[in-house]
Amino acid sequence: MRVEVERLPQSQVQLQIEIDPEMLGHAVDKAYQKLAGRYRVPGFRPGKAPRAVLERALGPELVLSEAADICMNDAYAQAIKENDLQPLGYPDVQSPKADEIKADQPLSFTATVYVRPQATVGDYSTLHVPLPKPEVSDADVDQVLERYREQQAPWQSLEDTPADYGDLAVLRLLASVGEETLVDQDSWEYRLNADEAPNLPIPGLAAEIIGMKSGESKDLILDLGEDYVPAEFAGQQMSLHIELLRLDRRQLPDLGDDFARSLGGFESLEQLRLMLQASMQQQAAEQVMSSHIDAVVGQVVDLSSVDVPPPLVDQEVDDMMHRLQENVEQQRKISMDTYTRIIGKTLEQLREEARPVAEQSVRRDLVLDAVAEAEAVTVPDAEVEEQVRLVAGSSTLSTKERRRLLASDDLRQRIRRRLRRQYAISRLLELISPPEQDAASTEEAPAEATVADAVETAAVMEDVQPVAIASGGEEDTPSVQQKEQES
């Protein structure tokens, strides 16, 4: 067998493969066995017809064509292995027609396939990315205390007081555009916020209620902007009827020791402030480390070059859309059809918007793979097995599915790759953090901000949940003919 490998753009390879007649002849026996089980010859049980009888019944061309298929599958798999290629999906095969295959002549075909690329990484050892010191001011603590006061404050109904921002309004609302009713609510609780979300069904609603008193009503016409969603109503006028049924306002408690004791576990306001300061300092350290990892990895990616193959981007887009659907259905409690109607976009538009982000994510992962290779990063088998048990231990899985995952080599490969990237990030942080800053951070920053915990922080950044790893299988290497057979 002779193989020529040609590298194409976007991490594609073209394999020109020539199979000698001897190899084709050896495949004829296998072809007879397969055909004997597939076709029934009158007078013989399935698979029991003699070879000569089967050949007369089917014709030598069909046998030779089946043998060619077997040869091409075997040759493609061998070429992939010998050239250390990792295919992404099915190959595009150009092969001779059945009547062009000759038993005494070489069989040539071409297979073009996307393969996992190898990133070329620049000299990241010269990089120095500063790690900012997390800071929490007294003003920051005061803001949190103020939010606590608001959360603990009881609501009190107001009879003859104008509505203001921060109040809770109970409304009777009716909004329509032409003959279409968009909102019809008899008793809707609505918090009056100065920074009201711009994508509400009724734009500027809070501002229209400010100044109204309990029991008052008003009718008005709103001009909807050209960017209004749903888009079918953009540029039109909305008829709006508002009745303020009730108005509530929080009565803030005094900020003192009694307030601290009301939260439980605190003897004084000073003790509460110290707890908040420590907790906020820890959160700030985690946020600083997350941003630092982003900056470090981003600079290494900028130093690197890699062809990002479309199949990997498509897979990442699929994963992003799957996570979006889970968020919409589980968190927002609405269907994807309702969600797309509300935002005025199709699923295909959402996929196209996600593509640049997906491509950057794939590029980042490929660069981290190359860093792990350069730094000889290894992942302990025990850690992989622990993650496998974690995935298979999900309470949502059946016993059969759990056993399948525990035996899955593909799952282990995917977990190992993810952990290896996390270790690569940890190694980059050790190399790129300035030595003088390491000493300062050890003395002043909490444990969560140290480089030693970067692996766990990186796991959060990758946004890869154990159950999500179990789905799919990008490592599968389909045969040359499998795609056609499945079709």
* CATH assignment of the domain containing 8: 3.30.70.1050
Domain co-membership, 237 together with 282: no
Looking at residue 453, its pLDDT comes to 41
Residue type, 209: I
The residue whose two tokens read 């025990």 is: 382
Q: State which amino acid sits at residue 415.
A: I
| β-pairing verdict for 168-177 and 92-94 | unpaired
Same-domain pairing of 207 and 97: no
Shared domain check, 399 and 275? yes
Domain-located, residue 335: no
Question: Do 54 and 166 belong together in one domain?
Answer: no
Secondary structure letter of residue 216 according to DSSP: -
List of the chain residues with pLDDT < 70: 36-41, 43, 45-48, 51, 434-487
Give the closest residue to 259 by CA, choosing from 155, 140, 143, 145: 145
Phi, psi of 121 (to 5 degrees): -100, 135
Q: What is the pLDDT of residue 405?
A: 92
Please state the domain count of the chain: 3
CB 46 within 8 A of CB 53: no
Tens of pLDDT along 280-311?
Answer: 999 999 999 999 999 999 999 999 999 999 99
Hey, what are 143's tokens? 């803001």
Q: Look at strands 217-223 and 237-250 and give their pairing.
A: antiparallel
- Burial of 216-233, coded b for 16+ CB within 10 Å and e otherwise, reads eeeeeebebeeebbeeeb
Residue 154 phi/psi, 5-degree rounding, is -75, 155
Beta strands in 64-120 (DSSP E): 92-94, 107-114
Question: Does residue 361 sit in the same domain as residue 465?
Answer: yes
Element (H, E) at 349: helix 347-374
Range of the domain at 370: 269-308+349-486
Partners of 239 in beta bridges: 176, 221
Distances from the Cα of 115 to the Cα of 230, 305, 309, angstroms:
42, 16, 8
Contact 205, 224 (CB under 8 A): no
Q: How far is CA 436 from CA 177, 287, 291, in A?
A: 64, 21, 20
Q: Token pair for residue 364?
A: 């980042």
Residue 216 lies in a domain: yes
Q: Which of 84, 238, 316 is nearest to 324 (CA)?
A: 316
Reading the block at residue 136, the tokens are 């929490």
Q: Cα angle vertex 175, ends 169, 180, to 5°?
A: 155
- Same domain for 415 and 292, yes or no, is yes
Amino acid at 182: L
Q: Residues 89, 187: one domain?
A: no
Of 410, 407, 419, 408, nearest to 381 by C-alpha is: 419
- On whether both 48 and 185 belong to a single domain, the answer is no
358 in the same domain as 233: no
Predicted local confidence at residue 420, as pLDDT: 95
